[in-house]
Amino acid sequence: MAIIKTEHLSHLYSAGTPFEKAAIEDVSVEIEPGEFIGVIGHTGSGKSTLIQHFNGLLQPTSGKIYVDGKDIWDEKNKKNIRDVRFQVGLVFQYPEYQLFEETVYKDIAFGPGNMGLSKEEIHTRVMEAMDFVGLKGKYAEKSPFDLSGGQKRRVAIAGVIAMRPKVLILDEPTAGLDPKGRDKILGQIREYHQQTGSTVLLVSHSMEDIAKYAEKVLVMNHAKVFDYDTVERVFSKNEELTRMGLSVPQVSKVFHQLRAAGYPVSENVYTVDQAEADILRLLKAKGGAGRA
């Protein structure tokens, strides 16, 4: 059973006015438990509106959304919409701006505290979440406002992880960070996914990051789903993605040019690791041919 499922989901902003606009239109998708999904689309494509429906922050204008098999806006379920937000954790872009407690520990403990857990359970979850995002225990009593940008970002992510959501959604979690900080956070998110088996949705403008970390890609275009498939199948549609203002990873473009020049490189190369392996394969084959 899908952990998140939408049926003909639509959302209108300023409905019934001259400024009415469809932010998402007739979206039907199914996300299975344990998947790592990349979400891409040009600015204004509807991806941010869509993910806010996944945890009940926005209510559909029409259509349905199910979380763990339950229609979250059904009359008997919508009274407990807060429970959905415990199941589906959403980390907004620049989440460090939402930090507010006097210590890192209290900030991370805020969500679990709202779940009515015991102090012992809250402590366990806080320390576990800090470990997941690579924050040592010595930071627990520090003010989050004294930390670096990357550390603040990890505190904010830990605050959501501490609620142990079945689904973790991250909207541009590395925006504004340097390459080292970006790789650190994404690496920790992947490790979290692997260790917990949770479903993860990563919204990003970086095709390289999507190719490196995601298993499947959901492509939004003009409020609708353009494609929802494996990384290989989505990025094979280079020309269509380019027309909608997106692209494939840079390394894929390089390999496409190499193939056009007559070099026998693989078609489906989307990461630097894949590129390295393919070049080594060719060098090995060339060396073997030379010896023959």
Per residue in 107-121, pLDDT tens?
999 999 999 999 999
Residue 39 has pLDDT above 80, yes or no: yes
Helix axes 272-291, 250-260, angle to 10 degrees: 30
The C-alpha atoms of residue 125 and residue 110 are separated, in whole angstroms, by 11
Q: What's the average model confidence in pLDDT over 145-153?
A: 92
Structure tokens at 137: 């225990």
Report residue 16's pLDDT band, with 50, 70 and 90 as the boundaries.
confident
95 or 9, greater pLDDT: 9
**Closest among 52, 57, 56, 58 to 70, alpha carbons compared:** 56
**Closest among 52, 49, 4, 47 to 29, alpha carbons compared:** 4
pLDDT at 196: 95
Q: What is the mean pLDDT of the chain?
A: 93
255 or 141, greater pLDDT: 141
The C-alpha atoms of residue 131 and residue 287 are separated, in whole angstroms, by 46
Q: What's the average model confidence in pLDDT over 30-59?
A: 96
Q: What angle do CA 272, 40, 268 make, to 5 degrees?
A: 35
pLDDT at 191: 95
Residue 190 has pLDDT above 70, yes or no: yes
pLDDT at 143: 96
Residue 203 has pLDDT above 90, yes or no: yes
pLDDT at 252: 87
Report residue 292's pLDDT band, with 50, 70 and 90 as the boundaries.
very low
Q: What's the average model confidence in pLDDT over 241-261?
A: 88
Which residues, listed in sequence order, are joined to residue 91 by a DSSP beta bridge? 170
CB 8 within 8 A of CB 37: no
The C-alpha atoms of residue 10 and residue 15 are separated, in whole angstroms, by 12
CA distances from 44 to 56, 102, 203, 246 (A): 20, 36, 13, 13
* pLDDT-above-90 percentage for the chain: 74
93 or 61, greater pLDDT: 61
CA distances from 50 to 11, 97, 160, 288 (A): 9, 22, 19, 52
Backbone region of residue 46 per phi and psi (left: phi > 0; alpha: psi in -120 to 50; beta: other values): left
Residue 122 has pLDDT above 60, yes or no: yes
